[in-house]
Structure 1
Amino acid sequence: MRSAQILLLLCILGAVLWSTAKANNANIPEECCFAYYQRRIAIDKIKAYEVTRSDCSKKGVILITQRNYRFCANPEEPFIKKVMKYIDESKF
Structure 2
Amino acid sequence: MAAPRLALSVVVLLLAVITLSEGMRGVGPSKCCFLFKETPMAKDKVVDYVKTSQRCSNPAILLKTIRGHRVCVRPSAPWVKELITYLDAKAVPGASSHL
Tell me by how many angstroms 1:9 deviates: 2.3
1:17-49: CA deviation from partner (whole Å, max 9, x where unpaired): 331231243253221112212333211110000
1:89 aligns with 2:89: yes
The sequence identity of aligned pairs, in percent, is 26
1:80 aligns with 2:80: yes
Q: Which amino acid aligns with 2:19?
A: S
1:9 aligns with 2:9: yes
Superposed, which structure 2 residues align to 1:1-92 within 5 Å?
5=5, 9-10=9-10, 12-26=12-26, 28-92=28-92
Single out whichever of 15-24 and 41-50 deviates more from structure 2: 15-24
Runs of 4+ in 1 over 6 A off after TM superposition: none
CA distance in 2, matches of 1:42, 1:81: 13
CA distance in 2, matches of 1:28, 1:74: 20
Report the TM-score when normalising by structure 2.
Answer: 0.74
Provide structure 2 residue ranges, at least 5 long, that are not aligned to the other structure.
93-99
Tell me by how many angstroms 1:6 deviates: 5.0
